[in-house]
Homo-oligomer: A and B are copies of this chain.
Amino acid sequence: MSNTSTSPFDIEAIRSQFPVLEREVNGRKLVYMDNGATTHKPKAMTNAITSYYETINSNVHRGVHHLSQRATDAFELTREKLRAHINAEHSYEVIFTKGTTDSINTVAWSFGELVKPGDEIIISTLEHHSNIVPWQMLCERKGATLKVIPMDDHGVLDMEAFKALLNEKTVLVAFNHISNALGTINPVKEMTALAHEVDAAVVIDGAQSMPHLNVDVRDLDVDFYAISAHKMYGPTGIGALYGKEEWLNKLPPYQGGGEMIDTVTFEKTTYAGLPHKFEAGTPHIEGVIAWAASIDWLNELGMENISAYEQELLEYGTEALLSVEGLKIHGTAPNKSALFSFNIDGLHHYDIGTLLDQLGIAVRTGHHCTQPLMNRMEVPGTIRASMGLYNTKEEIDTLVAGLNRVIPMLK
């Protein structure tokens, strides 16, 4: 959390770090508003990839030679940077995974080994499939029961209902920090404290919060926190699972293989200590090392500055979009990230998305991997424009103009 920068948010300088933002789509300048799916990457990150491969590419941890040493140092440096970024206590509490989905599956499998029939697991209505299906699979495997925290029409979780669900059978509570479909920012610290009252472990899906918020896992006091690099301006194929040391020590390993063992005989295998116990196989070395460049770059901008700028976009965009006739915004929580999920009266989200694409505007349409949430809202899907730190008010104007152009075509 070296988020002490107070430099003004120079949007042109920022955009110049993203070559892809210069490109045209269908003859128009790209307006990329699908950051909830994945963000673009600053040059510092892609340069770090090339530099890794051209100077120190090597397998890590097991080599006595120079390249392996250099690669291992750089690899472990990212672990330390990520630890600092989320304010974890120990760097070995940071486990590298493929991404949020892999992180959640890791916990669901390993924690699952401690779950007994009749135990209860609580998730929320706001969850992404990646934070639903692993728990369903676990409940089925172990005979546990899945409970769901309801929400109100603004997309705010019902705290009274949550309290009522918690009881001595509750072993785990899992929910996202920010909803990818509605933008709701959940009160993680408060909910975690409630869950801890019944000694339930708390797993947070941080896929959508890491790019937008200053996350402090010790302040939040969560037990696990799942992260994807690609959604926070980092490379694809890499993510992390933060876990409190005591939990990580208690859980059995998930995958078996190289790196994660201490000694192997055909009769008996003993496992390595943290973090290696949970990192079987050759890791995504390039991805880990290049991720550090994204983290450094975010910290130079300052997470607080990013949040503040994006909140401006949220305010501006909400007002601008509501000027469009027949537009309904889904997700109107008072505490919300810069994400607009909406529908146009009588029109199908898919038609809108298709035509906006013709105008170079990239939005996402559909259920956003939150089918139960869509069912709750009684819509088949929404149009989602999710902001990144490089989006501008002018781009929001372009979106609004685009909507005003395509809606009449469809009526």
Contacts and interface: CB of A to CB of B under 8 A. Distances in A.
Interface stretch (A3-11, A196-204, A316-324, A365-373): A365-373
Contacts of A354: 64
Nearest to A131: B257
Given A37-B58, A128-B258, 19 more contacts: A19-B54, A20-B57, A30-B67, A38-B58, A38-B282, A40-B53, A40-B57, A58-B362, A64-B357, A65-B363, A98-B102, A129-B264, A132-B256, A133-B261, A133-B264, A235-B286, A264-B372, A265-B372, A266-B372
Nearest to A237: B284
A375 interface: yes
A364 B62 CA distance: 8
Nearest to A180: B258
Nearest first, the 8 closest Cβ-Cβ pairs linking A and B are A237-B284, A101-B281, A133-B256, A130-B257, A101-B257, A37-B59, A65-B362, A237-B237
Interface string A261-293: 101111001000000000011111111000000
* Copies of the polypeptide in the assembly: 2
Given A256-B129, A258-B369, A53 B34 contact: no
A257 B34 contact: no
Nearest to A286: B236
A224 interface: no
Given A49-B49, A264-B372, A130 B280 contact: yes
A34 B265 contact: no
A41 interface: yes
A119 to B, nearest CB: 17
Contacts of A361: 65
Contacts of A101: 255-258, 280-282
B20 A54 contact: yes
A365 B257 CA distance: 18
A326 interface: no
A357 B133 CA distance: 48
B257 A105 contact: yes
B237 A133 contact: no
Nearest to A230: B282
Given A263-B371, A281-B98, A287 B128 contact: no
B62 A256 contact: no
Interface string A105-127: 10010000000000000000000
